[in-house]
Amino acid sequence: MASALGASARHRVSRRFPDAPRATRPYAPGLDGLRALAVTAVVLYHVNPGWLPGGFLGVDVFFVLSGFLISDLLLAEWQRHGRIDLRDFWLRRVRRLLPALVLVLLVATAAAAVFRPRRLASATDSLFSVATFTNNWWQISTDASYFASFGPPPLFQHLWTLSMEEQFYLLWPLTLLALMRCVPWRGVEVTAVLAGAAASMIAMARLYEPDLDPSRVYFGTDTHVFPLLIGAALALLRPTTRLIRKPSRWPLRTVGLLGVAGLGVLVVMACVVSEGEAALYPGGFAAVALATAAVVLAAVQPMGRLAFVLGVRPLRWIGVRSYGIYLWHLPLIALATPDRMTPADAPLFAIAAAFASVGLAALSYRWVEQPIRRLGLGGSALRRHSSSPSATPRRRSSFLAGAVVGCVATLALAAVAVSTTPKGFHPPFLPTRTGQASPDATAQPTAPSERSKPSPSPTRRNVPTGKVTAIGDSVMVAATPALKKKFPGITIDAKLGRQLSAAPQEVKALERQDALGDTLIIGLGTNGTGGKTALEAVVNAAGPGKRIVLVTCYVPRSWQDTVNQDIREVAANHRNVVVADWNRAIADRGSLLADDGVHPSPAGARLYADTIAAALATLPAER
């Protein structure tokens, strides 16, 4: 019976791969070079998005590579044995990914506890989702934003990609195995996989809303799995075990030209495309995935010129350690960034952290990843214990040197981080996952000088009666409890990342639902898009009978003054419109803001509500 099954499996393999004499997966150094370019783009983006606006597209390059390589590995095993050992595959994935991940989580969390305790809450909140490889969905459920950053980035925000890849590694082998057993034609298999990719692309295009933060479609497995599937389809179409090494049998020049063109597309998009480009979501990410597939196809050709260029030793060295670099770079950048600054505001610290991540990745690769990957945790420990006496001094000296370098780099970054924290600054609140603020038990109370300052809004005035509707962004999300207390019965429509340009459509939608109150509060502008045209459209959509409060924004970005000037000019042109000057109210009260210097703490939220109430009190209550 077993021999019959084996013969049947060999028959299926020979029919599916008729011209492949052996199933040995050749090493493709060009793919390591492509990894190096991708991780460099991502690191540059996290250091300063202005340097490489589309650097985040390097993540999609990784996705295509992962889909291709994992599928190619599974196909090679099927070709050799006529079956796929799923248990062995998943065990190899665990050995490959978990050791370095656990090390980063432990070290970064410990460093945050010592040097940045106020950032520890956001890190520990995500640990369970990271450990269960559901972090991308956790970030969606908590309204986290990958792109809207006003302060130091979360330590483990980048690990959403690892979660999505692990979900793929869990489900895709089962899907591929079903395809290999049930579908005898490779063309049908490729078509089925591409159909799945197309469904994911359509989901991204349909769920994307131009005036809202795009993080939902960016994080979602359903909307962003298509690069992995495109890589898988490429592996089905052209597995590395079927590469032709004779130039006469494969148009290497054509493949090389396609690869160069694909690389050119990636470079151009990385330089000019930003996350706010509306065209990126319906089709731009798909173009990146297809361009990457072209580069991968050229990079695996053993006689191709592009494979030779991408396979040069420096790129290979970085590419082999790209996983560790990706894991280490964002926690180090976050720890090195001073409070209330983004990495772009402190580029020297961010660059130092990026270089330190390369060193720590090299140490992790040498002393953690490789030994465990080859021998397992027990075998690695046993090998170290039984090392020959002649090799022990050299290994000990290498380990000591690496440890010294890592410790010096970490301590230097921590010292720089602590020294750059403003003296006398003790913000009493921490931002939580939802963008609101919560008390920090370790924080010190507000300074007496801050408490003694008179409120810019006379809070004793009566708030005008009538139905109140508020439309806002994440600042209003943080101020929601105070607004509800100040305006009982208020209807609040506030979303993370919402743009000012979305306000007219939101007002019209509320009007159609008969949910627009007598008083309309607009608290938008934090995210930069929109201006006078959108504000005039809001006034026109609301109608002359509404009382409208336009709240100025407080955000240390280039668009702040322009947006606030537009708000004041529009208010001056309409008798039923008044300005609530949040910018002026909070400007000298930094301790009432969260760590990012933009979103209000609970005390700041009360000031936000008082400022609106004071402005509203200057308008007549009658319609």
By annotation, the residues acting in catalysis are 474, 596, 599
Q: What angle do CA 184, 186, 191 make, to 5 degrees?
A: 115
HEC-encoded secondary structure of 142-164: CCCCCCCCCCCCCCCHHHHHHHH
Query: What are the residues facing 493 on neighbouring strands?
Result: 471
Q: Cα–Cα distances in Å, from 35 out to 44, 355, 523?
A: 14, 17, 42
Backbone dihedral region for residue 25 (phi beyond 0: left; psi -120 to 50: alpha; all else: beta): beta
Q: At 12, which amino acid appears?
A: R
Residue 45 to residue 351: CA distance in whole angstroms? 11
- Angle CA(512)–CA(568)–CA(533) in degrees, nearest 5? 50
Pairing of strands 429-431, 437-439: antiparallel
Going 372 to 377 to 379 to 384, the CA torsion angle's sign is positive
For the chain, give percent helix, strand, coil, nearest 5.
65, 5, 30
CB half-sphere exposure, 143, CA atoms < 13 A:
16
Q: Name the DSSP letter for residue 338.
A: P
Max Cα–Cα distance, the chain, nearest Å: 92
- CA distances 261 to 29, 40, 99, 279, Å, are 19, 20, 37, 20
Judge whether 104 and 130 are in contact, CB under 8 Å: no
Measured CA to CA in angstroms, residue 411 lies from 363, 404, 419, 607 at distances of 16, 10, 12, 39
Query: How far does Cα 350 stand from its chain's mean position?
Result: 17
Q: Which of 482, 528, 523, 480 is nearest to 503 (CA)?
A: 523
Q: DSSP secondary structure string, 531-545?
A: -HHHHHHHHHHH-TT
Residue pair 594/478 in contact by the 8 Å Cβ criterion: yes
- CA Rg value for the chain: 28
Dist CA 470 CA 472 (whole Å):
7
